[in-house]
Amino acid sequence: MDKIRTDALSERLLRSLAGRTSRRGMLARLGAALVAAPAFPLLPVSRAEAAKDRTAQGLTDFARHAQSKDDTNCDYWRYCAIDGSLCSCCGGGLHTCPPGTEPSPTSWVGTCINPDDGVAYLIAYRDCCGTAMCGQCGCDNTDRESQIYRPQANNDIYWCFGTASMEYHCSTAVLVGVAQ
Amino acid sequence: MDKIRTDALSERLLRSLAGRTSRRGMLARLGAALVAAPAFPLLPVSRAEAAKDRTAQGLTDFARHAQSKDDTNCDYWRYCAIDGSLCSCCGGGLHTCPPGTEPSPTSWVGTCINPDDGVAYLIAYRDCCGTAMCGQCGCDNTDRESQIYRPQANNDIYWCFGTASMEYHCSTAVLVGVAQ
Amino acid sequence: MLAAVISPVTLQAESVVPQIEESDVATLPPLSPHMLLLTGDGSIKGTRIIDGDSGKILGTIHTQDLTNVRIAPDGAFFYVAETIWTRGNRGVRQDLLTIYDARTLKIVDEIDLPGRLLVGNRRQTFEISADGRHAFIYNMDPASSVIVVDLARRKVARTIEIPGCALVFAGAAATISSLCGDGTLSTIGIDARQSQDLTPAQPFFSAEDDPIFDNSIADPKSGKAIFLSYSGLVYTATLAPGQGVDAPWSLQQAAGMSPASTRPLEVSWLPGGRQLIAYHRATGTLYVLMHMGEFWSHKEDGKEIWVVDVANRKVLRRHRLAEPVSHIQVSQDDAPLLFLNIENKLVIVDAKTFEEKKSLDNVGNGMMMVPGE
Amino acid sequence: MLAAVISPVTLQAESVVPQIEESDVATLPPLSPHMLLLTGDGSIKGTRIIDGDSGKILGTIHTQDLTNVRIAPDGAFFYVAETIWTRGNRGVRQDLLTIYDARTLKIVDEIDLPGRLLVGNRRQTFEISADGRHAFIYNMDPASSVIVVDLARRKVARTIEIPGCALVFAGAAATISSLCGDGTLSTIGIDARQSQDLTPAQPFFSAEDDPIFDNSIADPKSGKAIFLSYSGLVYTATLAPGQGVDAPWSLQQAAGMSPASTRPLEVSWLPGGRQLIAYHRATGTLYVLMHMGEFWSHKEDGKEIWVVDVANRKVLRRHRLAEPVSHIQVSQDDAPLLFLNIENKLVIVDAKTFEEKKSLDNVGNGMMMVPGE
């Protein structure tokens, strides 16, 4: 498993690119690339500052109470910044969309600490799209969740860019890698 | 106020007409006539048998407890067979649709007893259509309510035939006349 | 430059986030007797496919208010009869029969329909023939008709006018039957050459005085049907040319009581609710939601389930419900489950012992379908 | 024969039912300060127009999930920014600015938009300029832009790219402003010749460590804006070319406490909720939903309302709420009402005395708009 050596750059990346070419064309292409890629690439993401300190004193309220046994509960560790219905309660799983829905190639991202090893992992919250609201196991956790001007860290946006239908059904929590 | 001298005939009317001409053409025209008429004609309706006996012994459970003061409550006397949101709670009134909605030219019909005079009246439950569910003051009263094969006495059908949109918003209770 | 944009990898290698899990999509297991399709309306929409044994949701079909769902007899498809406007509450009305693959829940086809009645909580506004070749959609605009869809050719075959009648039951011998406002049953061949009413036009009930519930039981294979009236009269019939309706008998008498009255003030145990009867075909067992009340309380939720041996006209058991129930369904296998619903809450009960097995909240409150019903 | 069919009267005179009441349709009263527009989402959709004095619903605009509604400055129209698929969950996506007459609620026009961001509970994804001539719609696909609509000509005028930034505040001098992920504020002229960033690009907050809530306060007339951070820092600014953001001050200090910390384990009173701030412009009074908790609890519902004198940086009052509140709004007259919402329940309170005036259930739980805000 590769370690992540990213730093906050997504908006800066967009802004710097924008300076060098037609912004609209460039961004449209960038957008298309991001949503069309088959391997589900992520927007480059920031390593959250809070993930540095793994002592009990560095943990958020969510992390201090998180568990690693039941992925149909809001306090499952990967769900530290999830907003919506858990796909695990809707016929899907942690990284599996329910039948008839489509995983979004784009996602928002959280940094969550696994209570079993005390390690911070990057989690991609990938929405499953195409069917209306599952309505089961609604969660809204907000560790290091930012606002719309930092979209990849915001969990209110319908992250169904690049799917055939943007109807939101549920959210998965795909393990991406170690954040350190 | 004219008295009503109707008898149950609507389906029989349709059936007899159907024998004499192309059923599809006839019924299509009949349908169009019913929905297009500007004066909101009713389907011919039956005088309910139960309306004959106005003594306390002849009253339904609804009629024994009905009131005539507050038209935003389900037990208001005209609502003896209403199903849905009361338009009186949605910006409309007993015979008034809320802004932006349209009264259906067709309706189902109830026979309700006014507690003030003990007289049975014919009530046209005219749906207001075009905007989604008002959601206020939901009632479901069923005095002499029949099933779909007797549509003008059924309160589950979306009675929005002939309106620009068939989206159901709320139901009014228009006083039609004395049923005796 | 373009390449760099398309792939963030080449743009700045250090920023790439490797992914150790791949996103995938689940498929449904093959249809099995304990699977339930529950169609929500109002605040909780969508048709949830639920495994009766685990009580878990296996998937959801996108359905809106007033949608009807049926299971193909061979289990290959789910059929959805639905109405959608192009702009939500406005625009162009689209009446559709949408066909979903029963394993992937992907849309296989969408067949345009010339109309359908908009009404909730009705089973017999949409039916599939026993051989799976035809779908029947009841339409009222406000004239009455049945739209026949050829499911093999995936197109509308014809429209059958049924003036004065409503609903559609798939009968034996390529017929459909409807209930009529004058108290008769009408049976018509789905073939254009058989469009005459094939039943004796004998009124057997009163649509004014003691209506039969729209939600009746009919077996498309045998044509055997069970109708139930507001007062609790049970009518059995065979839906086929030339067949009539048997003389009715009283549910209350079958439980050792007096027959119920249709008069005001009189209180009886009465059938009521929305999907208020379910039938276990192999054993001929009828489950009816019953409540105490006066006549014209036919939408009141059930406070008891009456278990009825239809052949012997006997109530075998009266089960008192902990909370009222508006919808009931039963699986068709020999270890049957009862599915009970009230206000979006589903309770799954052993149909023999009435032991509660599972319950599930926020699943919707509407019609329930099981395979082979 | 045809005539007889068209008119049941001539067919059988005895069957005609005379009608003594005519059906009609209500119109809304002219816009007044105590009227509220409440946009529901999820289980209760639609935008309800409520009279704050009587607590009664005056009418409903058909709106779906993730719809934004604005009131025209002159009160003549309601503007709805919405996204509708032709087949509900599928088909062709239609992004629209729909214009409703504010008295009849009839659709006056529908303007096609090239897109809009799908997100709930945000005020600044849709704004109207102070002169009523332009509408601004924030779009992310996922590149960021603002769509400018000419409301006089009823068509899209242009699209302004705002890379790295989001939201749209209508500022003074024909500009729009956005908040950016690098902690800056970006102000751009809506005229094509002014598409440069007109503000000094000075980061004033950290989008990672102490984000500013999207739901901020901005006056399209004066450009005066109030931003609030998760930790409770208040930033005032003027949204206009060349203007910067003032140094922030702490809400908690304004209430006599220590400033809140962003560190784990530390507990403070913090701002939180969905529509968590409201501003009474004439008196410069800010109402903030506050709760006790640790940092990153920014969506938690308010347990108190803090009444803040912005000019004097002073918390005037802390009102303890009987039940938590997620959305707050205040009318703009001199006898102001506070509108409080939690889980589809609206409570209307006197903004000066906090006396409860009215309450209303099942009205939806979403963004609230008042005239002149």
Determine the residue of chain D that is closest to B34 in CA distance. Answer: D6
Q: For residues B91 and B125, state if they share a domain.
A: yes
Q: Which of C14, C23, C26 sits opposite A40 (nearest CB)?
A: C23
Instruction: Determine the 3-state secondary structure of D34 from DSSP.
Output: coil
- The answer to whether D117 touches D125, Cβ cutoff 8 Å, is yes
Tokens of D271: 């701002």
CB contact under 8 A, D17 and B89: no
Q: Which amino acid is at D287?
A: Y
Q: Quickly tell me which residue has 């989604």 as its tokens.
A: B132
Q: For residues B147 and B160, state if they share a domain.
A: yes
Distances (CA, A) of B18 to B29, C143, C162: 12, 11, 9
CB contact under 8 A, C298 and B142: yes
Tell whether B154 is in a known binding site.
no
Identify the active-site residue in A71, A77, A127, A159: A127
Confidence of residue A118 (pLDDT cuts 50, 70, 90): very high
Determine the residue of chain A that is closest to D264 in CA distance. Answer: A60
**Measured between alpha carbons, how far is C52 from C36 in angstroms, rounded to an integer?**
7
Tokens of C35: 């699977």
Q: Which of C43, C84, C90 sits opposite D88 (nearest CB)?
A: C84
Among A96, A167, A168, pick the best mutation site for testing chain C contact (most C Cβ within 10 A). Answer: A96
- pLDDT at residue D191 in the model: 84
Q: Which of B12, B15, B156 sits opposite C121 (nearest CB)?
A: B156
CB contact under 8 A, D89 and C43: no
CA dihedral C262, C263, C267, C271 (to 10 degrees): 20
Q: For residues B48 and B95, state if they share a domain.
A: no
Is A159 known to be catalytic?
no
Instruction: Assign 3-class secondary structure to chain C.
Output: CHHHHHCHHHHCHHHCCCCCCCCEECCCCCCCCCEEEEEECCCCCEEEEEECCCCEEEEEECCCCCCEEEECCCCCEEEEEEEEECCECCCCEEEEEEEEECCCCCEEEEEEECCCCCECCCCCCEEECCCCCEEEEEEECCCEEEEEEECCCCEEEEEEECCCEEEEEECCCCEEEEEECCCCEEEEECCHHHCCCCCCCCCCCCCCCCCECCCCEECCCCCEEEEEECCCEEEEEECCCCCCECCCEEHHHHCCCCCCCCCCCCCEEEECCCECEEEECCCCEEEEEEEEECCCCCCCCEEEEEEEECCCCEEEEEEEEEEEECEEEECCCCCCEEEEEECCEEEEEECCCCCEEEEECCCCCCCEECCCC
**Measured between alpha carbons, how far is A92 from A127 in angstroms, rounded to an integer?**
11
Tokens of C102: 């029963």
Q: Which of A100, A124, A176 sits opposite C104 (nearest CB)?
A: A100
**Local structure of residue D9 (DSSP, 8 states):** H
- Chain C environment of D84 (Cβ under 8 Å): 86-88
CA distance A99 to chain C (A): 5
- Chain B environment of C295 (Cβ under 8 Å): 60
Confidence of residue B54 (pLDDT cuts 50, 70, 90): low
Q: For residues A6 and A69, state if they share a domain.
A: no
The last residue of a domain, from among A38, A57, A76: A57
In this prediction the ipTM stands at 0.90
CA dihedral C7, C8, C14, C18 (to 10 degrees): -70
- Chain D environment of C90 (Cβ under 8 Å): 62, 107
Q: What string of pLDDT tens digits covers the 373 residues of chain C?
A: 223 222 332 233 334 444 578 999 999 999 999 999 999 988 899 999 999 999 999 999 999 999 999 999 999 999 999 999 999 999 999 999 999 999 999 999 999 999 999 999 999 999 999 999 999 999 998 899 999 999 999 999 999 999 999 999 998 888 999 999 999 999 999 986 656 677 767 899 999 999 999 999 999 999 999 999 999 999 999 998 888 899 999 999 999 999 999 998 999 999 999 999 999 999 999 999 999 999 999 999 999 999 999 999 999 999 999 999 999 999 999 999 999 999 999 999 999 999 999 999 999 999 999 999 8
Q: For residues A76 and A151, state if they share a domain.
A: yes
- pLDDT at residue A53 in the model: 57
Chains that touch A (3 or more CB pairs under 8 A): C, D
Q: Which of B11, B157, B165 sits opposite C164 (nearest CB)?
A: B11
CA distance B2 to chain D (A): 7
Q: For residues A121 and A145, state if they share a domain.
A: yes
CB contact under 8 A, A150 and D89: no
**pLDDT tens column, A119-140:** 999 999 999 999 999 999 999 9
Angle between helix A23-36 and helix A10-20 axes, rounded to 10 deg: 140
Q: For residues A25 and A51, state if they share a domain.
A: yes
**Domain limits for position B42:** 2-57
CATH 3.90.1150.10 fits D35-369, yes or no: no
Confidence of residue B42 (pLDDT cuts 50, 70, 90): very low
Answer yes or no: is pLDDT of A29 > 60: no
- pLDDT at residue D242 in the model: 85
CB contact under 8 A, D141 and A150: no
Please, what is the Cα angle at C87 between C83 and C89, to 5 degrees? 65
Q: What string of pLDDT tens digits covers the 373 residues of chain D?
A: 232 222 232 233 334 444 578 999 999 999 999 999 999 988 899 999 999 999 999 999 999 999 999 999 999 999 999 999 999 999 999 999 999 999 999 999 999 999 999 999 999 999 999 999 999 999 998 899 999 999 999 999 999 999 999 999 998 888 999 999 999 999 999 986 656 667 767 899 999 999 999 999 999 999 999 999 999 999 999 998 888 899 999 999 999 999 999 998 999 999 999 999 999 999 999 999 999 999 999 999 999 999 999 999 999 999 999 999 999 999 999 999 999 999 999 999 999 999 999 999 999 999 999 999 8
In sequence order, the 6+-apart residues with CB closer than 8 A to the CB of D269 are D232, D252, D255, D257, D260, D290, D291, D292, D304, D306
Q: Which amino acid is at D158?
A: R
Total beta-carbon pairs less than 8 A apart between chain B and chain C: 140
CB contact under 8 A, D208 and A142: no
Among C161, C195, C263, pick the best mutation site for testing chain B contact (most B Cβ within 10 A). Answer: C161
- The answer to whether C338 touches C289, Cβ cutoff 8 Å, is no
**Measured between alpha carbons, how far is B143 from B63 in angstroms, rounded to an integer?**
9
Tell whether A83 is in a known binding site.
yes
In sequence order, the 6+-apart residues with CB closer than 8 A to the CB of C153 are none
With touching defined as 3+ CB pairs under 8 A, do chains C and D touch?
yes
Chain D interface residues (partner C, CB cutoff 8 A): 43-44, 62, 64, 84, 86-91, 94, 96, 107
Tokens of B72: 């935003």
- For the entire predicted model, the pTM comes to 0.89
Identify the active-site residue in B77, B127, B143, B159: B127
- The answer to whether A60 touches D264, Cβ cutoff 8 Å, is yes
Q: Which of A9, A33, A94 sits opposite C15 (nearest CB)?
A: A9
Among C41, C83, C87, C92, pick the best mutation site for testing chain D contact (most D Cβ within 10 A). Answer: C87
Q: Which amino acid is at D64?
A: Q
Q: For residues B39 and B87, state if they share a domain.
A: no
**Measured between alpha carbons, how far is A14 from D180 in angstroms, rounded to an integer?**
11
Among C27, C62, C65, C107, pick the best mutation site for testing chain A contact (most A Cβ within 10 A). Answer: C62
C115–B contact, CB cutoff 8 A:
no
Q: For residues A65 and A22, state if they share a domain.
A: no
Q: For residues B123 and B49, state if they share a domain.
A: no
Tell whether A155 is in a known binding site.
yes
- pLDDT at residue A28 in the model: 37
Confidence of residue A21 (pLDDT cuts 50, 70, 90): very low
**Measured between alpha carbons, how far is C260 from C75 in angstroms, rounded to an integer?**
41
**Measured between alpha carbons, how far is C116 from B105 in angstroms, rounded to an integer?**
19
D103–B contact, CB cutoff 8 A:
yes
D20–B contact, CB cutoff 8 A:
yes
- pLDDT at residue A51 in the model: 45
Distances (CA, A) of C111 to A114, B79, C152: 49, 40, 12
- pLDDT at residue D43 in the model: 86
**Measured between alpha carbons, how far is C325 from C209 in angstroms, rounded to an integer?**
25
Distances (CA, A) of D183 to A147, C255, C367, D203: 11, 76, 52, 5
Tokens of B148: 């779909």
- pLDDT at residue B8 in the model: 30
CB contact under 8 A, D214 and A46: no
- The answer to whether C65 touches C41, Cβ cutoff 8 Å, is yes
How many Cβ atoms are within 10 Å of D260's Cβ, its own excluded? 25
**pLDDT tens column, B79-135:** 999 999 999 999 999 999 999 999 999 899 999 999 999 999 999 999 999 999 999
The last residue of a domain, from among A36, A57, A78: A57
In sequence order, the 6+-apart residues with CB closer than 8 A to the CB of D361 are D344, D345, D346
- pLDDT at residue B5 in the model: 25
- The answer to whether A145 touches A60, Cβ cutoff 8 Å, is no
As for how many domains chain B has, the answer is: 2
Confidence of residue B55 (pLDDT cuts 50, 70, 90): low
**Measured between alpha carbons, how far is A30 from C118 in angstroms, rounded to an integer?**
45
Please, what is the Cα angle at D358 between D357 and D359, to 5 degrees? 140
Picking from C30, C55, C40, the residue whose alpha carbon sits closest to that of residue C349 is C55
Tell whether B157 is in a known binding site.
yes
Give residue C80's Cα distance to chain centre: 11
Is A77 known to be catalytic?
no
CB contact under 8 A, A131 and D159: no
Determine the residue of chain D that is closest to B26 in CA distance. Answer: D5
